[in-house]
Structure 1
Amino acid sequence: MELADALQDIITKFAKHLEIKGVDYVFFGSPTGDKLLRGDLDVYSPNEPRFDEAVKTFCQHYQLLLVGKTFHATGVRYDIAFKLEGATYIFPGPDLLKYPTWKVKGKLNVDFTSVIKHRERSPNGYFEPNNHSAFLFYLIKKIDKKAISKLEFDYLVSLYNAQERNIDSALQQLWKAKGSDVALCFKQKDMVGFESISEALFEELASQQSFDFERLFYNIKRIAFRLSKRTGLHVVFMGPDGSGKSTIISLSTPLLKNSFRGVEYIHFRPNLANKSSQSGYSVVSDPHKSKARGYLGSLMKLCYLVGDYFIGYLVKVLPLLVKSRLVMFDRYYQDLMVDPIRYRHKGPNWCLTLLGKIVPNPDLFILMDAPAEVLQERKQEVSIEESRRQRDAYLELFEQLPNAYVVDTSKNIDDAVNETVGILVNYMSRRLTTRNESKLSYGQKN
């Protein structure tokens, strides 16, 4: 089964499950498996608690993993992991709309009670809004984001052509000065013209926006919740040269990125002195070539590194985690303990251990492990004896680290990637079950 077909199957089963559980809903954007390869599934339901429970029972019934629940400005997004032919993928959605659109003069510019009442059954079997409601919702969403693609504009044109008269009237009510201009853009399929007036449309809509205390209160709680229970993930990959760290990171990222609002790759340390996480990093062909610093120089450098890790976490890494980013480190502070020569360190081990207590631990440590003979086949930057020593040192270290996992990278690379992704999604699922998101629940219980 292709990935798009698998996503389509999930959408269909999810819609049926919602109906079995008696949950009213509409899917926006005429979602298909192909579309979900490019974005998430926008859903509106008038009762969030029942919808939330339906998502959980859906995952249980079909043996899926609920790995993410992210509260954002307009709603809450669920991320669901599933397996396809041995590989793990993340279903991008459903994204439940709590505050689906703006209020203009105290009223929603899309009447969602009417949306539910007049919803229609799509050819794919799920409920979606009629063309009039779908057009207004999607148009305002694109204006709010200040971005629209050719594919998205063509979709709006198709909705407009289906109910031109009713939509023209609604556009005139929303934009007194520009309503007819908007209609003309869709009549003439003029995307350039629409983009030229989109900023004016945004400003006019914003000027009519009424203050919403309920939404303000929700956003205050949401931000506080995101600060205390971060939805991003901080992962450290370690291992000797030739163990496959870079390969596993590059192949795992596409399978994981749907559950995050971006991916940040950092080598060894936060590197606050440079804006780019890659600044100052280059491929090392002989890691033991440089002469070690003296005792005092090693101690000073170590203090600098610890400060960079501690302050860098607060200033650089933590904000990314709050913003739901996946932060992946290739090497970390503990590499100093395994291979001090690489970092020109000549100080005592007790000093590394003591100062290391200040360094923030990631959510997960993952060791890329392979026999020394395999490491030497891939890279000959150190002797085989040194490869054996480093491997043993890493394995011993990982017996002491929290949330530490070992992945055998000497086997098939696809198996190693699948195991790595499995470690991350299982951790995310366990983390979610220990959190209490009910305090952010919004909606009435039946």
Structure 2
Amino acid sequence: MEKMIQHPNTTYRNLLADLHEADVQYALLRDDMRTDKPIRDLDILVSRKQMAAFDSFAASHGFYLIKDGYLNPCKRVYLKMEEGTPLILDVHTEVIFRGLVFLDSKKALANRQRVGGFYRLAPEEFLISLLFHNVLAKKRIQQKHASLLFDLMMYAKNQQVLHAHLKPFGLQKIFEELTGQFEQMYKQPALVREIAKRTQKKLIRRKFANRWRVWQIAAREKKVKFFGKKRGIIVTFLGPDGAGKSTTIDAIRDRLKDIGVSNKMAYLGPWGGSILNLQTIISLLHLKPYRDDYKAFDKGRIAKKPGPLKGMQNVRFQTRSVLYYALLLFEMATRWLVLVLPLLRQGRLVLSDRYFYDILTGYKNKPIDYHVKLRQRLCSFYPKPDVGIVLDASPEVIYARKPQLTEKQLQQSRRVYAEIAREYGFYVLDTSSTVEDTLADFEERILPEILVRLDGRKKNIVAQIPEQPLRNLEPARL
């Protein structure tokens, strides 16, 4: 029996069918559901009053809310991963660009037409929506829309209907200019860019609601720099030198962007990336929490570990160490407040290369077995990441990447990172094989939790992590 071939847009079709059955008003803004080509991003207009119902249906079909429109009013973005393929819903409650409404959504939904079993905008509204989307959002006439817009030009003759939509926004003359010189506009993007500026000014002057939303966006962008609740999440990557952090993080960043999850990087390692330039003070005062007499032992030149310091030598060392860690905590707190927290308030996904918890492994590449409780205490004051990932690989692979590490240093480093994973509930991601294998493991075990947490933060609810066994707290081949 031959396997039935599923339509590439079945998930979208099923969602739209449920919306129709529940009488949730929607209209497709740009896509044609009759196509046999896979649709990656589905732009859809939904009645503002029915967004709660839409949100419920989207969740029931496996879509996560990844952008809630806080900095882009009247627009939400949902994501579902289906066998490694991203399905994205760009949901609008207004026909809008960056706070500027250019078509009455209530009229557009009232005039929508059912074509091939799915609701679309009426031809005149479709022409206005698609044309000004290209002008405002793209600043050019996109090649993929050029032929469709050309076909829609026949409706430009329906002056009475078009003017009823364009007049409230003051766009009649601009629309006539665009349609009257369409071929020239397509060939000369500079003309479209100039018209885009005029269109934005016209929309701001004509509609108070547009002025309000533009001001609201600007105010919120400033606000999140200084206060507000966390709307995003932070995912941190730790691991011994040679575990492939840079390569793995770059691959994960690219993959997240590819599936529609924008992200920002922040370096939160304790031994570099200072924004307060405290290294000068640390050098002048010789503040270093590492005993010089441990060097020979760590490098294997002597077999016996040095004993505890005594007298004033111990007092001086402990004083220098406490001062060092106090300055380090101040630096790391500043980095969190300046580099990370504003992004979290924006609703961003922040990826951190290393974390303050790296101090638990020692000092730079040097393992230390003193100040353990002090370092643990300091880490308890620092914000815990939403998702933590310890990167690990077989000793042979790590040594091949970082041959300057001694066997003792490597064993100690991997052991402590394994303890960090167990203590804080972090994932362990094996990087011994190819980047592709590591990325596949990330998508299978860790990405679902990231999406749930992004969604949960937006709704201010406790994230419900999928019940599959996502966490692997045992280190890879320790």
What TM-score, normalized by structure 2, do the two folds share?
A: 0.70
346-355 or 334-343, which moves further after superposition? 346-355
Matches within 5 A, 1:289-308: 298-308=321-331
Q: Distance in 2 between matches of 1:260 and 1:109?
A: 27
Aligned twin of 2:46 = 44
Aligned twin of 2:415 = 392
Assess, with a 3 A threshold, how the Cα gap between structure 1 residues 147 and 129 changes in structure 2: closer, same or farther: same
Q: Runs of 5+ in structure 2 lacking a partner?
A: 1-5, 278-291, 296-315, 462-478
8 Å contact kept, 1:68–1:231? no
Aligned twin of 2:203 = 205
1:323 aligns with 2:341: no
Q: Distance in 1 between matches of 2:397 and 2:252?
A: 21
Matches within 5 A, 1:42-441: 42-45=44-47, 47-57=50-60, 59=61, 64=62, 66=64, 68=66, 70-72=68-70, 73-84=72-83, 87=84, 89-98=85-94, 100=96, 109-121=102-114, 126-145=118-137, 147-148=139-140, 150-151=142-143, 154=146, 157-158=149-150, 160-166=152-158, 169-170=162-163, 173=167, 174-175=170-171, 178-188=174-184, 189-192=186-189, 193-211=191-209, 230-257=230-257, 258-266=259-267, 268=269, 271-273=274-276, 298-342=321-365, 348-401=371-424, 403-411=425-433, 413-421=435-443, 422-429=445-452, 432-433=455-456, 436=459
1:280-306: per-residue Cα shift (whole Å, max 9, x none)? xxxxxxxxx9x9997655544433332
Assess, with a 3 A threshold, how the Cα gap between structure 1 residues 41 and 183 changes in structure 2: closer, same or farther: closer
Shift of 1:7: 6.5
Equivalent AA in structure 1 for residue 243 of structure 2: S
8 Å contact kept, 2:65–2:76? no
Q: Distance in 1 between matches of 2:144 and 2:266?
A: 31
Q: Distance in 1 between matches of 2:438 and 2:452?
A: 20
Shift of 1:328: 1.2
Give the secondary-structure state (helix, strand or coil) at the position aligned to 2:181. Answer: helix
Assess, with a 3 A threshold, how the Cα gap between structure 1 residues 379 and 197 changes in structure 2: closer, same or farther: same
Equivalent AA in structure 2 for residue 268 of structure 1: G
Q: Distance in 2 between matches of 1:237 and 1:195?
A: 41
Give the secondary-structure state (helix, strand or coil) at the position aligned to 2:23. Answer: coil
8 Å contact kept, 1:18–1:51? yes
8 Å contact kept, 1:298–1:345? no
Assess, with a 3 A threshold, how the Cα gap between structure 1 residues 122 and 313 changes in structure 2: closer, same or farther: farther
1:254-308: per-residue Cα shift (whole Å, max 9, x none)? 332345444325362664359xxxxxxxxxxxxxx9x999765554443333222
8 Å contact kept, 1:242–1:376? yes
Aligned twin of 1:444 = none
What TM-score, normalized by structure 1, do the two folds share?
A: 0.74
Bigger Rg, which one: 2
Q: Distance in 2 between matches of 1:376 and 1:52?
A: 50
Shift of 1:392: 0.9
5-14 or 223-232, which moves further after superposition? 223-232
8 Å contact kept, 1:185–1:191? no
Shift of 1:310: 1.0
Matches within 5 A, 1:26-45: 26-30=27-31, 37=40, 41-45=43-47
330-339 or 248-257, which moves further after superposition? 248-257
8 Å contact kept, 2:224–2:342? no
Equivalent AA in structure 2 for residue 327 of structure 1: V
Shift of 1:136: 1.9
Q: Distance in 2 between matches of 1:313 and 1:81?
A: 30
226-235 or 12-21, which moves further after superposition? 226-235
Equivalent AA in structure 1 for residue 45 of structure 2: V
Assess, with a 3 A threshold, how the Cα gap between structure 1 residues 144 and 336 changes in structure 2: closer, same or farther: same
Equivalent AA in structure 2 for residue 93 of structure 1: L
Assess, with a 3 A threshold, how the Cα gap between structure 1 residues 33 and 374 changes in structure 2: closer, same or farther: farther
Give the secondary-structure state (helix, strand or coil) at the position aligned to 2:230. Answer: coil
Q: Distance in 1 between matches of 2:431 and 2:339?
A: 30
Equivalent AA in structure 1 for residue 26 of structure 2: Y
1:19 aligns with 2:53: no
The size of the alignment, in residue pairs, is: 405
8 Å contact kept, 2:367–2:412? no
Assess, with a 3 A threshold, how the Cα gap between structure 1 residues 157 and 434 changes in structure 2: closer, same or farther: closer
Equivalent AA in structure 1 for residue 438 of structure 2: A
Assess, with a 3 A threshold, how the Cα gap between structure 1 residues 331 and 41 changes in structure 2: closer, same or farther: same
Equivalent AA in structure 2 for residue 82 of structure 1: M
Q: Distance in 2 between matches of 1:326 and 1:137?
A: 31
